[in-house]
Structure 1
Amino acid sequence: MLNQQTAQFWDEFASEYYAIQQETFTTITTDIAHYLEKIGVLPTQDFVDLAGGYGKYIPTILPYVGKYYLVDFSKEMLQLAETLYPKPNIERILTTQTEFFTYSATNQYDCVFSALNPAMRQIEEVIQALRISERYACFVELVSDTEELFTEIEPITQTKEAQLFLTNVTRFATDQGIPWHKKRFTYTTQTMIEKTFALDYFAEDIQQDPTVLAKIESFYQGKESREVCHEVQFELVVLVK
């Protein structure tokens, strides 16, 4: 039931999510592809993108692979991928990650890839990704997302979970004698934010906690607007079989 509800959410959210993703200020998909090429993961024959959604990584990784398997449990996401990337060497697979692991054979695919995947959080899932891959298992997570003032008032807790997951992955790999690579990608941007916008954005928080207003006043230092620095950090861990 939970999978059905989650899939329904992503079906309804697919188009909006795609639009949001187009507004990114990072070049993470290109940078990931170039790094995977640098360490020898790419080019490869069979590439599995777990929980790949609409295929965010297809444009940068497809040129390096013979067959791209896009796995997701949202029908609308996969239909969007078909519209965006009507390529004959892309196979769209509508299934859950658990089901995909169940019917995939050991060493069936050259490389298994998972990026910002909420279903990839336990070592048991990492073990399954390794099992079905013949050469590499890759995991990408957003490990830091900070924006001056805003994250000071509203910390983003999901990144801590992602950091812990990747720490557990490298610890597991080390314990098992599995070679691994790790690479961090950092991106920053500056945006001019009006003080009135911040006051409106945090209006409810100000009512509940007077220290929020003090933080806003301290940040703007009597100015009506200030540049706000937004920094995001992604981390890639590659396990080598």
Structure 2
Amino acid sequence: MEEEEAMLFWDEFAQEYAQIQRESQLKIAEEVAAFLVEQKVFPISAFVDFAAGTGRYISAFYPYVDEYYAIDFSKEMLKIIEETTEDPMNKLHLVQQSQKDFLSADQHWPCIFMAMNPAVRDKEALLQFQKKAHQLIILRMIAEEENVFQPYEKNLSAKNDLNLNTWYKKWFSEEAIDWQSRQFEYILKEEIDQEIFHLYFEEEYSLEQRQQMVQHVFGEALTVESQTKITFELLLA
């Protein structure tokens, strides 16, 4: 996806993405903040939240940062941050900037944080970020296992993104760059009925196939419990 197309996509997706973030039950932001305090990364003078999206991590990190720079190439994402995030100390700076422009700028930062940035997919980009910061922090989801829907899902393209941290660690090691990691695990539970199951797979499987799947998953029960185990990994380099 070209940068302009990606920018348009995220501008259009911003409101929906913000709603997804608001509905998340995960306490990952708070747990990462506590870990960064433990590692003495926090408190810090200046902090870059790159590809900040709708600002999921700002409220958790805000108390420990003197100057907080939320950078994203989507103006709509930044607009949501402006409208929904409190800044009582007047230390939050919203910056619309592409990854290319950010990396080419002649500026070094105490700390750059990236959560789920989809645009760091090669060694060159990763090392450019590492060189721009005294401390580079990367958070990615590395595993997602679910027991009801996942066994029947056909589209596995997103699974490639789960392996990016493995490549990051390999590339850091190749360049003799010290790194450490910490994993965070969560279990989400949700009651699923047969109707929801049918609707979910309506476009992928025939009615006869879905009926067989329902029999296998539900048996005689009207509902089953979906359990999703999500694992995040935080990299510090």
TM-score (norm 2): 0.91
Query: What's the RMSD between the two structures over aligned residues?
Result: 1.9
Q: Is the 8 A contact 1:149 1:215 kept in 2?
A: no
Q: Is the 8 A contact 1:142 1:159 kept in 2?
A: no
Given the alignment of the two structures, is residue 71 of structure 1 paired with residue 68 of structure 2, yes or no?
no
Deviation at 1:238, TM superposition (A): 0.8
Deviation at 1:188, TM superposition (A): 0.8
Aligned-partner SS, 1:222: coil
Aligned-partner SS, 1:203: coil
The aligned residue for residue 198 of structure 2 is 199
The aligned residue for residue 231 of structure 1 is 229
Deviation at 1:121, TM superposition (A): 1.8
2 CA distance for matches of 1:155 and 1:29?
31
The aligned residue for residue 176 of structure 1 is 175
TM-score (norm 1): 0.90
Deviation at 1:86, TM superposition (A): 4.8
The aligned residue for residue 121 of structure 1 is 121
Deviation at 1:63, TM superposition (A): 0.8
Deviation at 1:74, TM superposition (A): 0.7
Q: Structure 1 86/227 Cα, relative in aligned 2: closer, same or farther at 3 Å? A: closer
Aligned-partner SS, 2:23: coil
Q: Is the 8 A contact 1:143 1:159 kept in 2?
A: no
Aligned-partner SS, 2:205: helix
Aligned-partner SS, 2:59: helix
Per-residue CA deviation, residues 1-32 of structure 1 (Å, 9 max, x unaligned), is 92222212222221221111111121011111
Work out which of the residue numbers 98, 101, 104 in structure 2 matches 1:102: 104
Work out which of the residue numbers 209, 212, 215 in structure 2 matches 1:217: 215
Q: Is the 8 A contact 1:193 1:228 kept in 2?
A: yes
Per-residue CA deviation, residues 102-146 of structure 1 (Å, 9 max, x unaligned), is 0132xx211111101111221111111111102x10111111222
2 CA distance for matches of 1:236 and 1:213?
41
The aligned residue for residue 81 of structure 2 is 81
The aligned residue for residue 56 of structure 1 is 56
Aligned-partner SS, 1:41: coil
Give the length in aligned residue pairs: 235
Q: Structure 1 131/209 Cα, relative in aligned 2: closer, same or farther at 3 Å? A: farther
Given the alignment of the two structures, is residue 151 of structure 1 paired with residue 153 of structure 2, yes or no?
no
Q: Which amino acid aligns with 1:198?
A: F
Identical-residue share of aligned pairs (%): 28
1 CA distance for matches of 2:45 and 2:84?
22
Per-residue CA deviation, residues 53-86 of structure 1 (Å, 9 max, x unaligned), is 1211100111111111111111111111112225
Deviation at 1:213, TM superposition (A): 4.0
Structure 2: where are the runs of 5+ without partners? none
Q: Judge which range, 4-13 or 17-26, deviates more.
A: 4-13
Q: Is the 8 A contact 1:196 1:224 kept in 2?
A: no
2 CA distance for matches of 1:8 and 1:68?
25
The aligned residue for residue 92 of structure 2 is 90
2 CA distance for matches of 1:119 and 1:217?
41
The aligned residue for residue 17 of structure 2 is 17
1 CA distance for matches of 2:68 and 2:100?
19
1 CA distance for matches of 2:132 and 2:198?
51
